Amino acid sequence: MRKTGTLIIGLCMVAGVWAQDLQRIGDRDITGTARYMGLAGAMTAIGGDASAVGDNPAGLGVYHQLEASVTLSETLDYTRQQGESSVLQSRFMAPQASLILSLTANDEYNPMRTCNFMIGFNRVKNFSRTSKAIMDNPGLSVANAIAQKTNGLPESSLDIDNGWNNTDIGWLSLLGYGAYLINPVGNTTNWLADGSTFPVLTNEVRVEEYGYLDEFNIDWGANFLDKVYVGLGLSIRSLLYTKAMYLWEDYAFRSMNLYSYVCQNGIGVAGSVGVMYKPLNWLSIGASFHTPGYLKMSTQTHGEMTQLTRDNVQIDSTYLSSPTSAFSAGYTQPLRSTFGLAFTPSKHVTLSMEYDYRHWKGTDDIHTLKAGIEAMFCHVLYVEAGYAYESNFQDFDWIYDMNPTTTRTDVSFINPKYAHFAGFAFGYRGPLLNAQLGYQFRYQNTHLYGHELQSMPYHMESMTHQIVLTLAWKSRD
């Protein structure tokens, strides 16, 4: 009889690159200071903001005095979910902090007007969210997907005691076999889902995610003749991500539960170079290039499978738990570049626009268009408004084809669609203190799949309301 006991061991097995990992470590929110969010991040050609330095380090050259700043944020996430009640989540955090040191030249004949350094922190992505959905008659079962992944393997190789150590066997196959979800066809190496003739009546998936991607920056920027600004940056990136997936299916006389847990920690580094040029008093041009970052990431994953069989007399239960898999892998984050223009038709109004480009090898590139306007009143009161559009990470009909030999068992995946950002900010900028309040609305449509053979995705709508307060203290000129 097949054993269904729990076995927990440590393994060092390298799984194939998981598409959701690539999307996660390369994604960015438009977040930071209130001014930056109010302008929807369209600041590559403006500078003079701690969060904008993360896009273009040349913007650091705009500063003429020491500045220390911190941003506080209250975020409200609202998700409309198919077949389920909507989820409302809130969180408080400090997504930005910085210290800027400015060395101003006293010699009017020195072409270098300023030489500035910054140490900064930015939380560029927050992963915390809960996704859940229910669908009637979703098509094929996850057991069918497991059977496809198992095709080509003889039954003798699916040894529950030793199969976990075999890098040629996926752990989904072992869970499906041990929990009696799949059966071989005769003496061949072909497999079918147990009870494959019965349609899936109901499919329910719940995904709980938590984590963040942080950047710790060290930047240098200089101003030459108040006309040319250059900058260099070094970014140290830290990733924490956990995912708990619950997949439940109900079909004739039986039901199946799959639980999977993933925990990832990573650290990486990337560099950046930028320039700003003011050919005219009313025109500024900015551009930056960010090297593809390298992220070393460790992953731990674990899966559990339960099948319940019902008849008129009793309910039988079959349960199997996988070991804990631990492996490390290196990932390349996307190359990134920005280009922006800023116009100052009067000394009280600035218009800006920016194009942000992120490139992955083997996936769709991300294109982000940003536009913003900033107006000054009474010399110390400012107001900003902005809008940004971000393109898809993958095609609308993209389906993830899971590696049949991976230790990962989290079969659910999300295909995020385009995103819209709209921001507004206002505040006071005095000789010694800045205080600015901002608001951002983010909307994104996503497709959630319980597994790769699900005929239709769950349609999800995510709306994020974020209120931020930035406080900055400056030294005297």
Is a pLDDT exceeding 90 seen at residue 272? yes
pLDDT band of 80, cuts 50, 70, 90: confident
Query: Rg of the chain over CA atoms, in angstroms?
Result: 26
Q: How many other C-beta atoms lie within 10 A of the C-beta of residue 46? A: 26
Q: How many other C-beta atoms lie within 10 A of the C-beta of residue 357? A: 14
CB 55 within 8 A of CB 342: no
The DSSP 8-state label assigned to residue 3 in this structure reads -
- Lowest average pLDDT, out of 101-105, 362-366, 378-382, 418-422, goes to 362-366
Is a pLDDT exceeding 90 seen at residue 137? no
- Lowest average pLDDT, out of 198-202, 234-238, 305-309, goes to 198-202
**Bridge pairing between strands 129-136 and 200-224:** antiparallel
**pLDDT at residue 477, as a whole number:** 67
CB 385 within 8 A of CB 424: yes
- Lowest average pLDDT, out of 61-65, 87-91, 184-188, 227-231, goes to 87-91
Closest-CA residue to 295 (of 210, 215, 407): 215
The DSSP 8-state label assigned to residue 61 in this structure reads G
Q: What is the distance, to the nearest Å, from the Cα of residue 427 to the centroid of all Cα atoms in its chain? A: 30
**Percent over 90 (pLDDT), the chain:** 56
Residue, of 225 and 24, whose pLDDT is higher:
225
Q: Where do the domains of the chain lie?
A: 10-474
CA distances for 362 relative to 92, 122, 211, 332, 336, angstroms: 36, 28, 26, 12, 15
Q: Which of 123-127, 170-174, 421-425, 473-477 has the highest mean pLDDT?
A: 421-425
**pLDDT at residue 4, as a whole number:** 42
**Bridge pairing between strands 182-184 and 191-193:** antiparallel
CB 63 within 8 A of CB 52: no
**pLDDT at residue 82, as a whole number:** 67
Q: What is the distance, to the nearest Å, from the Cα of residue 239 to the centroid of all Cα atoms in its chain? A: 10
d(CA 454, CA 326): 28
Domain 10-474, classified CATH 1.10.3720.10, yes or no: no
Instruction: Compute the mean pLDDT over every residue in the chain, rounded to the nearest whole number.
Output: 88
Q: What is the distance, to the nearest Å, from the Cα of residue 117 to the centroid of all Cα atoms in its chain? A: 28
Residue 173 corresponds to which tokens in the numbers above? Answer: 């196959």
pLDDT band of 196, cuts 50, 70, 90: low
Whole-structure pTM value: 0.90
d(CA 142, CA 411): 8
